[in-house]
């Protein structure tokens, strides 16, 4: 094949190659251990569900579980049953649903805009730090994002074309979003659909009788989950779960777990301000944050012009802008917030950002727009260099590199990054392609070096794997003051708690995993003798601090956990 043919092929499929590069990162993200506390908890619950066969009533360590809906547990448990229990099989269903959400974003954008904006929207979404995180640290937000976007895409087709099949698929997507993270899933869909209908003044569509079919489909699909909640909680008012006396499982799911955070009905609070998500999005939507805020401002400005200035051309759709702004406001009103709560809205702002980037790069623009492109593209390119600098600094100051492969790959990608920026003439590609090369390099560092190095300090999973590999009998391993869901998941058992007051009943060879405080308490007991079999450096790896990351100060941040053996 001639060089020109290769160049033509590379250009024709450039966006596909970019998606493939990000797909490699996603695949590698599925191998590192699950993190404490949420991901490891969900993995352990999924394994327990497989073991006890209780799919409608959910338990954690044999106790009633009343927090997240069961969809993630069902999917991961089914994956375990088909392919065995592992990090990969736990993460597999969620990553597949995330890919579905990415595909839905492409098809939605293609329908309402054009092919170039569709590709750019997908690449913006797929390369955000949020998706690099949730394809590794799998929680409920990834599957919520996927099913919300599936529902919005299909329901928008129903409104535009009037066909029944998209309504059915959109209703299934909404039901699955509900079972992923509660009423929030349906609320986001309703915000998006309602915003479009109101701003487009399609008031008759609000009262379409076909919406009754949507309600019926959702209700039918929710029956198994609702039956399980009713059986587990509503029929047992004597139960107390998470400080709630006699909770109704149905009320908790449909109201307390989501809206109770806004009304203050539930005690979960972390004193986050109303602007919390504006702060977190600065990192989570990287590397596109420079384009996001002007994109939102432009969209809001265009909306007001379309509403109040005659002759102004309206946006082709308002699903994305309304879905993002209203959902963002609702989430910001909650008394309990975490950064990943906002991730399901990222398809909306990815589309808005993609539309802005393509518009910014359009030929024949005004001088101020051309100047804005030059400034934004150069500043953006400068910031992308930091994504190469950070891994280099981590190699030097954080964790040692065990192989030359990663540094060499990083250098090659850095050279390609600069070459693409210098040689590419197309304005859109000059922004997109160097950025994807950057995020591929950064993602490779995270998945093959940073997370594996970090998780060596998650002592609960380390000891759990050791216990499983050594096939320690079930009655010979306990924990004391050092619980961890990852320990249960990797040891493939519900690890019982050690009782110091019953220390004489434990047989010789019994192993106890404990903290420094627990070690002193057990070993100071004069009635029996334990020895330290092994010590572990421990750190809560999902709450990083610079003192921990720096190799020369890490000893100040880590604590010690111990594996004791009875003599």
List, for residues 308-353, the tens digit of each pLDDT value: 887 677 888 999 999 999 999 988 887 777 888 899 999 999 999 9
Instruction: With cut-offs at 50, 70 and 90, classify the pLDDT of residue 6.
Output: low
Instruction: Please tell me the predicted confidence (pLDDT) of residue 522.
Output: 86
C-alpha distances out from residue 250 to 46, 67, 79, 180, 256, Å: 21, 12, 27, 15, 9
Instruction: With cut-offs at 50, 70 and 90, classify the pLDDT of residue 152.
Output: very high
Residue owning tokens 């329901």: 155
Cβ-based neighbours of 122, under 8 Å, separated by 6 or more: 15, 19, 102, 105, 106, 109, 350
- pLDDT (average), residues 51-66: 91
Residue 220 to residue 13: CA distance in whole angstroms: 43
188-197, 235-244, 369-378, 543-552, range with the lowest pLDDT: 235-244
Coil vs helix vs strand at 390: helix
Residue 3 has pLDDT above 80, yes or no: no
| Residue extents of the structural domains in the chain | 12-267, 367-421+430-456, 458-566
Instruction: Please tell me the predicted confidence (pLDDT) of residue 263.
Output: 56
Q: Quick: pLDDT tens for 394-434.
A: 999 999 888 888 999 999 999 999 999 998 888 999 999 99
Q: Quick: pLDDT tens for 350-384.
A: 999 999 999 998 876 778 888 888 899 899 999 99
CATH topology of domain 458-566: D-Maltodextrin-Binding Protein; domain 2 (3.40.190)
Q: How far apart are the first and last CA of the chain?
A: 72
Q: Which residue has the higher pLDDT, 25 or 242?
A: 25
Residue 83 has pLDDT above 60, yes or no: yes
Instruction: With cut-offs at 50, 70 and 90, classify the pLDDT of residue 108.
Output: very high
Q: Which residue has the higher pLDDT, 97 or 275?
A: 97
Q: Which residue has the higher pLDDT, 529 or 457?
A: 457
Instruction: Please tell me the predicted confidence (pLDDT) of residue 259.
Output: 67
Helix or strand (DSSP H, E) at 378 = helix 367-397
pTM of full prediction above 0.85: yes
Closest CA to 352 of 31, 163, 108: 108
Cα 264–544–337 angle (5° rounding)? 15
Instruction: Please tell me the predicted confidence (pLDDT) of residue 37.
Output: 79
Residue 270 has pLDDT above 70, yes or no: no
């Amino acid at each position: 094949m001639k060089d020109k043919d290769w160049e033509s092929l590379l250009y024709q499929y450039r966006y596909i190659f970019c998606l493939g590069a990000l797909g490699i990162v996603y695949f590698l993200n599925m191998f590192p251990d699950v993190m404490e506390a949420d991901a490891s908890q969900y993995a352990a619950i999924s394994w327990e569900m497989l073991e006890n066969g209780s799919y409608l009533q959910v338990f954690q360590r044999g106790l009633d579980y009343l927090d997240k809906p069961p969809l993630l547990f069902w999917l991961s448990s089914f994956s375990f049953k088909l392919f065995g229990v592992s990090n990969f099989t736990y993460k597999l269903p969620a990553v597949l649903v995330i890919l579905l959400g990415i595909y839905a974003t492409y098809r939605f954008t293609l329908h309402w805009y054009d092919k170039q904006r569709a590709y750019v929207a997908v690449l913006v979404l797929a390369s955000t730090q949020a998706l690099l995180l949730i394809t590794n640290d799998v929680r409920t937000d990834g599957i919520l994002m996927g099913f919300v976007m599936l529902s919005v895409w299909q329901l928008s087709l129903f409104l535009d074309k009037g066909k029944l099949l998209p309504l059915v698929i959109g209703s299934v997507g909404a039901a699955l979003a509900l079972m992923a993270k509660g009423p929030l899933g349906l609320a986001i869909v309703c915000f998006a659909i309602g915003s479009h209908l109101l701003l487009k003044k399609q008031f008759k569509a609000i009262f379409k009788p076909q919406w009754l079919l949507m309600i019926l489909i959702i209700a039918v699909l929710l029956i198994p989950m609702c039956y399980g909640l009713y059986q587990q909680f509503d029929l047992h008012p004597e139960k107390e779960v998470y400080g709630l006396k006699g909770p109704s499982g149905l009320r908790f799911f449909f109201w307390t777990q989501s809206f109770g955070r806004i009304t203050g009905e539930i005690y979960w609070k972390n004193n986050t301000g109303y602007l919390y998500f504006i702060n977190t999005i600065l990192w989570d939507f990287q590397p596109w944050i420079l384009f996001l805020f002007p994109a939102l401002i432009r969209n809001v400005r265009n909306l007001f012009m379309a509403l109040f200035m005659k002759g102004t051309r309206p946006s082709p759709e308002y699903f994305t802008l309304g879905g993002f702004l209203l959902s963002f406001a609702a989430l910001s009103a909650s008394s309990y917030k975490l950064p990943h709560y906002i991730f399901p809205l990222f398809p909306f702002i990815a589309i808005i950002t993609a539309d802005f980037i393509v518009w910014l790069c359009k030929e024949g623009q005004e001088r101020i727009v051309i100047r804005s492109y030059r400034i934004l593209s150069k500043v953006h390119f400068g910031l992308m260099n930091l994504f190469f600098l950070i891994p280099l600094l981590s190699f030097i100051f954080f964790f040692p590199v065990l192989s030359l492969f990663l540094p060499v790959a990083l250098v090659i990608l850095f050279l390609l990054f600069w070459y693409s920026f210098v040689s590419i003439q197309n304005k859109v590609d000059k922004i997109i392609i160097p950025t994807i090369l950057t995020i591929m390099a950064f993602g490779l560092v995270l998945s093959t070096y940073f997370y594996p190095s970090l998780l060596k300090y998650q002592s609960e999973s380390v000891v759990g794997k050791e216990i499983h590999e050594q096939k320690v009998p079930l009655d010979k391993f306990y924990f004391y003051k050092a619980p961890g869901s990852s320990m249960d998941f990797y040891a493939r058992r519900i690890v019982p708690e050690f009782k110091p007051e019953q220390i004489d009943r434990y047989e010789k060879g019994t192993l106890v995993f404990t903290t420094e405080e627990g070690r002193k308490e057990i070993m100071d007991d004069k009635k029996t003798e334990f020895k330290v079999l092994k010590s572990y450096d421990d750190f809560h790896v999902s709450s990083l601090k610079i003192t921990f990351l720096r190799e020369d100060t890490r000893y100040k941040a880590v604590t010690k956990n111990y594996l004791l053996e009875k003599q």
